[in-house]
Amino acid sequence: MTTFGTILSSVHVKKPRIHCITNYVTANDCANILLACGASPIMADAPEESSEITALCSGLVINLGTLSDKRIEAMLLSGKKANEMGIPVVLDPVGAGASKFRTNAASRLLSEVKFSVIRGNLSEIKVLAGERYTSHGVDTADTIDPESMTGAIELAKSFSRKFNAVTVITGEKDIVSDTERTFIISNGHPIMSRITGCGCMLSSLTAAFLAADGNEPLTAAAAAVCTMDICGEIGAKLMKTSDGNAGCRSHIIDAVFNLRGQELDRQAKINII
Amino acid sequence: MTTFGTILSSVHVKKPRIHCITNYVTANDCANILLACGASPIMADAPEESSEITALCSGLVINLGTLSDKRIEAMLLSGKKANEMGIPVVLDPVGAGASKFRTNAASRLLSEVKFSVIRGNLSEIKVLAGERYTSHGVDTADTIDPESMTGAIELAKSFSRKFNAVTVITGEKDIVSDTERTFIISNGHPIMSRITGCGCMLSSLTAAFLAADGNEPLTAAAAAVCTMDICGEIGAKLMKTSDGNAGCRSHIIDAVFNLRGQELDRQAKINII
Amino acid sequence: MTTFGTILSSVHVKKPRIHCITNYVTANDCANILLACGASPIMADAPEESSEITALCSGLVINLGTLSDKRIEAMLLSGKKANEMGIPVVLDPVGAGASKFRTNAASRLLSEVKFSVIRGNLSEIKVLAGERYTSHGVDTADTIDPESMTGAIELAKSFSRKFNAVTVITGEKDIVSDTERTFIISNGHPIMSRITGCGCMLSSLTAAFLAADGNEPLTAAAAAVCTMDICGEIGAKLMKTSDGNAGCRSHIIDAVFNLRGQELDRQAKINII
């Protein structure tokens, strides 16, 4: 089996170019974390150019934060182009359930574009699975804890079956699942929930990992989650007493910049079931 | 009287969700400073969803930076929804007076939406009060110094009467006033004027403070101003010789993350008149 | 001859107000680096207000990142207003060649607006010169190394003739040229290519330098390039072992904040041919 470390090393070597159609709140962090892992970001969200930009890339991220009608058009065009080309597409359904506009956009994307990976929190995935109609917003809501774990794994599996994609549900522990196997990842740090864009950055990393090593999307997605989580731990450990979430954000991106494959494998806390 | 410290503690406990319709230049900083104080940000500016997003929140910030026609629509829809719900709305009229587009948008918002707090620099407030027609831009212009203080307090009071809102005028010293009482806040540090988004971040904090403790909007707004100013002082003190405005920006958000109510009360330099 | 240091000192004294029509990925960094060098940024990209905003400023930057149809309109209106006023305009053709949308926008801007300085990487400038039809994206592509140097200098000169502007081609070494003289700048650090927005920040700085000292656009542009490069070196030197591209980005802006004219002249590694 490919280890997480070899996939990270692949990203370092192949430097995949990733097209991000993403929100303006965390676009800068997404660009810098892609550069940190050795990938090369292109941000473009105008429907007039989006599919041409995708055509230059080896991975695509579609992130629903600060959604707009124009950006939905661009997402559909780029998603279809990526599918034609056979490159991986990651969906981050930020805020699905928070408004009909976002839920409908997510549904339409899921029906017209084939995604390799869909990454959200538990409530976003529940909304897209049809299990609930409203999320409590962008970053709160149901979390994955020991109690909800079994149900969340079942949800991830059935969601993967429905959309023929790897499902990533992030929370206290993270679930990365296809229809058969599930990685449960215990790395990470609570401060990550107080840094805007940790989810968005993870989705961007995921596209880079898939683009660099497309053979096992499940393993590549799990490697990305584990990378982000371990860098969250490193970032938290680097904090001085006067540091807070802003300092830690910078430490996390820097940790990605410095992380090598061997260290990733050494720090990973995973269960495969 | 509620102290500033008890209001900050309320934010820590209640973790209010704040909807920000704000410019893309400082949206990331606004999100991180809200997370730093314990609140939870949602950024959304499409008219297709804005009022639904507001409905999930307990506070709303409307910031006129990088204004667009679509964003004005969203502001009006969300502002009205917030008024229906009875949640606080903060207006940050960035650049009012710099263009007819911004001045007109601010005027329309002021006539169709009831704001709890309006926060600007002296020239922005003068423009909206009809005292002058052009501002010299976004961050310069008239400042509050000993000479202009008396006039500025009068302006704040009459502005508060006109719009039935708390008025915050930030400058070398800050004025927070309703129709009767005025807080003059002497905290803060000159480097804050060289960090983009200090005003925007303050407006976001203000919404969180009002959402957590709505009984005395005047005191809550003054507590937010004082928090931002004290964190500016702490941030400036944390600077090493090689640090500049970028390092200090991070220190300020980190200081908000670490500030506790008792320390806020201990450091506050206020006069109430 | 005016030294680079005297131009930087001019920026410190004159504090020029710069209108940026720029992408949302790096707008925050552009605002902070302008504040760092003593200038004052205004970001505004709505066609409804853009020319009025330009009218308040003494320099304009037009940056094609995350381009949209609305932003092109604003660029044309502001560019023409700046030309009427006789203030400097800098073009950063981010991603020219990556899509017809961007290439066409750049061409239209070049035909309807007179630019003082055009700054891009080698492939962007080649595309605009009609030498090649596709760029490989945003940050990769042809670089300036010893082998390509002679051709790149010729390109810069002929490009300057064609558009009656100073041409800046950034790479391993940087070329700043008008129709006659060429500065070759050997400062800089490789990590700059792994920090999003280094090019955008440089274009913003360039506008501030031209606005502060308009007598010799060639020298002012070279001074801006040299400032950015030296601050890249300082930023890289400040990195601790745990630092990466995010920490370094902050160090670079901080270095601009702290750089004085004398130090700039002392560190500059330039050849004039």
Separation between Cα atoms, residue A127 and residue A94, nearest integer Å: 11
Identify the pLDDT of residue C47: 98
Identify the pLDDT of residue B133: 54
pLDDT surpassing 60 at residue A172: yes
Please state, for a pLDDT cut of 70, what percent of chain A lies above it.
96
DSSP string covering B88-137: -EEEE-TTBTTBHHHHHHHHHHHHHS--SEEEEEHHHHHHHTTS-S----
CA of B271, closest CA in chain C: separation in Å?
Answer: 31
Partners of B17 on chain A (C-beta within 8 Å) are 136-137, 140
One-letter amino acid identity for C98?
Answer: A
The mean pLDDT of chain C is 95
Nearest to A208 by CA among A226, A189, A224: A224
Nearest to C117 by CA among C58, C42, C204, C25: C204
Partners of B31 on chain C (C-beta within 8 Å) are none
pLDDT per position as a tens digit, C223-233: 999 999 999 99
Partners of C257 on chain B (C-beta within 8 Å) are 194, 243-246
Contact A25 B45 (CB under 8 A): no
Which of C23, C34, C48, C69 is most worth mutating to test chain B (most B CB atoms within 10 A of its CB)? C48
Contact C244 A238 (CB under 8 A): no
Identify the pLDDT of residue C139: 45
- Residue A263's pLDDT band (cuts 50, 70, 90): very high
Nearest to B213 by CA among B42, B91, B21, B38: B38
Task: Determine contact, residues B188/B171, Cβ cutoff 8 Å.
Answer: no
Of C42, C53, C256, the CB nearest to B244: C256
User: How many interface pairs between A and B have CB atoms less than 8 angstroms apart?
Assistant: 109
pLDDT per position as a tens digit, C65-78: 999 999 999 999 99
CA of A214, closest CA in chain C: separation in Å?
Answer: 22
Strand order in the sheet with B17-21: B40-43, B17-21, B59-63, B89-92, B117-121, B166-170, B174-177, B182-185, B270-272
3-state secondary structure C118-155: EEEEHHHHHHHCCCCCCCCCCCCCCCCCCCCHHHHHHH
Task: Give me B57's structure tokens.
Answer: 């929140």
Q: Residues near C261 by Cβ (< 8 Å), separated by ≥ 6?
A: C3, C4, C5, C6, C7, C8, C9, C12
Query: For A2, which DSSP code?
Result: -
Instruction: Map tokens 């600077």 to a residue.
Output: B239
Specify the range with the lowest mean pLDDT, choosing from B231-245, C38-52, C132-146.
Answer: C132-146
Q: Assess B235–C contact: CB distance below 8 Å, yes or no.
A: no
Task: Determine contact, residues C166/C221, Cβ cutoff 8 Å.
Answer: yes
Separation between Cα atoms, residue A192 and residue A248, nearest integer Å: 9
Q: Assess B195–C contact: CB distance below 8 Å, yes or no.
A: yes
Identify the pLDDT of residue B41: 98
Identify the pLDDT of residue A4: 98
Domains and CATH numbers, chain B: 4-272 (3.40.1190.20)
Of C101, C139, C244, the CB nearest to A257: C244
Max CA distance (Å), chain C: 50
Q: Residues near C18 by Cβ (< 8 Å), separated by ≥ 6?
A: C34, C39, C40, C41, C42, C57, C58, C59, C60, C61, C204, C207, C208, C211
Sign of CA dihedral B194, B200, B201, B203: positive
Q: Assess A239–C contact: CB distance below 8 Å, yes or no.
A: no
Q: Taking the complete model, does pTM exceed 0.90, yes or no? A: yes
Of A32, A238, A256, the CB nearest to C195: A32
DSSP string covering B19-47: EEE--TTTHHHHHHHHHHTT-EEEE---T
For residue C130, count CB atoms less than 10 angstroms from its CB and return exposed for 0-12, middle for 13-18, buried for 19 or more. Answer: exposed
Q: Assess B30–C contact: CB distance below 8 Å, yes or no.
A: no
Task: Determine contact, residues A54/A19, Cβ cutoff 8 Å.
Answer: yes
pLDDT per position as a tens digit, A195-242: 999 999 999 999 999 999 988 999 999 999 999 999 999 999 999 999
**Chains contacting B (3+ CB pairs below 8 angstroms):** A, C
Contact A69 B48 (CB under 8 A): yes
Identify the pLDDT of residue A134: 56
Identify the pLDDT of residue C2: 87
Identify the pLDDT of residue A148: 84
Partners of A28 on chain C (C-beta within 8 Å) are 25-26, 28-29, 196-197
Pairing between β-strand C17-21 and β-strand B270-272 as defined by DSSP bridges: unpaired
Task: Determine contact, residues A159/A122, Cβ cutoff 8 Å.
Answer: no
Q: Assess A197–B contact: CB distance below 8 Å, yes or no.
A: yes
Separation between Cα atoms, residue C122 and residue C120, nearest integer Å: 7
The mean pLDDT of chain A is 95
C-alpha separations of A24 from A44, A197, C25, C174 in Å:
11, 10, 7, 30
Which of C15, C49, C231 is most worth mutating to test chain B (most B CB atoms within 10 A of its CB)? C49
pLDDT per position as a tens digit, A105-119: 999 999 999 999 999
Instruction: Map tokens 């969803």 to a residue.
Output: B49
Identify the pLDDT of residue A137: 47
pLDDT per position as a tens digit, A49-91: 999 999 999 999 999 999 999 999 999 999 999 999 999 999 9
Identify the pLDDT of residue B137: 46
Identify the pLDDT of residue C143: 72
pLDDT per position as a tens digit, C182-207: 999 999 999 999 999 999 999 999 99
> Region C15-35: what's the mean pLDDT?
98
pLDDT surpassing 90 at residue C138: no
Nearest to C54 by CA among B123, B99, B133, B122: B99
Q: Assess C150–A contact: CB distance below 8 Å, yes or no.
A: no
Identify the pLDDT of residue B145: 75
Contact C46 B68 (CB under 8 A): yes
Q: Assess C196–A contact: CB distance below 8 Å, yes or no.
A: yes
Separation between Cα atoms, residue B50 and residue B58, nearest integer Å: 14
Contact B245 C254 (CB under 8 A): yes
One-letter amino acid identity for C158?
Answer: S
Of B28, B57, B250, the CB nearest to A247: B250
* Ramachandran region, residue C11 (left: φ > 0; alpha: ψ -120 to 50; beta: rest): alpha
**Chains contacting C (3+ CB pairs below 8 angstroms):** A, B
Of A28, A66, A242, the CB nearest to B258: A242
Q: What backbone phi and psi angles, to 5 degrees, belong to C118?
A: -120, 120
CB atoms within 10 A of CB B102: 28
Specify the range with the lowest mean pLDDT, choosing from A131-145, A155-169, B124-138, C208-222.
Answer: A131-145
Contact C196 A28 (CB under 8 A): yes
The low-confidence residues of chain B, meaning pLDDT below 50, are 137-140
Q: Assess A97–B contact: CB distance below 8 Å, yes or no.
A: no
Nearest to A116 by CA among A247, A229, A208: A208
CA of A188, closest CA in chain B: separation in Å?
Answer: 18
- The helix (run of H) or strand (run of E) holding residue A117 is strand A117-121
pLDDT per position as a tens digit, B168-197: 999 999 999 999 999 999 999 999 999 999
Q: Assess C25–A contact: CB distance below 8 Å, yes or no.
A: yes
Residue of A nearest to C103 (CA): A49
Identify the pLDDT of residue C137: 47
Separation between Cα atoms, residue B66 and residue B200, nearest integer Å: 12
Separation between Cα atoms, residue A272 and residue A4, nearest integer Å: 13
> Region A13-25: what's the mean pLDDT?
98
Partners of B47 on chain A (C-beta within 8 Å) are none
